[in-house]
Structure 1
Amino acid sequence: MNESSAAISWRKSSRCASGACVEVADAVGTVLMRDSKTPAGAPLEFSKGVWATFIVDLKEGRFHAN
């Protein structure tokens, strides 16, 4: 991750009610994801293409809670 953490704008899902949620941020060439309970921890980093595929799969219901 090359961007300064001050330059990154994190956002939570509008469906996050508890405050303990996943946050995402756009970075140069990547999408970052972190746990809002531990914002100082290292975020996961995904290419924009992988993230876009994940969002399509999510919206099409390809993931199921057990």
Structure 2
Amino acid sequence: MNDTTTGWYKSSFCESSSCLEAASAGEHILVRNNTQPGERHLQIDRGGWNVFLDDIVKGRFSNL
């Protein structure tokens, strides 16, 4: 699902009302809590974001 007015995207795997959303912002990816969209967000450089996604695919966070 995406929010076309701001460019924020939420995973289609999100089954609850509390999920993370991500948006592209130039050389960075922004991440926020969708239940508090007006609050602060994380800003991650694209290299760090790609490492994070690779770690998810590799199962690095499966024990959390």
TM bucket, shorter chain:
0.7 to 0.9
2:54 alignment partner AA = V
- Structure 2, gaps ≥5 residues long: none
Higher strand content, 1 or 2? 2
Name the Cα RMSD after superposition.
1.3
What TM-score, normalized by structure 2, do the two folds share?
Answer: 0.85
CA separation in 2, counterparts of 1:21 and 1:65? Answer: 19
1:44 corresponding residue in structure 2: 42
Structure 1 unmatched ranges of 5 or more: 1-6
Q: Alpha-carbon deviations, 1:25-64, whole Å to 9, x = none?
A: 0101100000000000111000000000000010111112
SS in 1 for 2:50: helix
**What's the % identity of the aligned pairs?**
35
Q: Give TM-score scaled by structure 1 length.
A: 0.83
- Aligned-pair CA distance for 1:65: 3.4
Structure-2 residue corresponding to 1:54: 52
Report the count of equivalent residues: 60
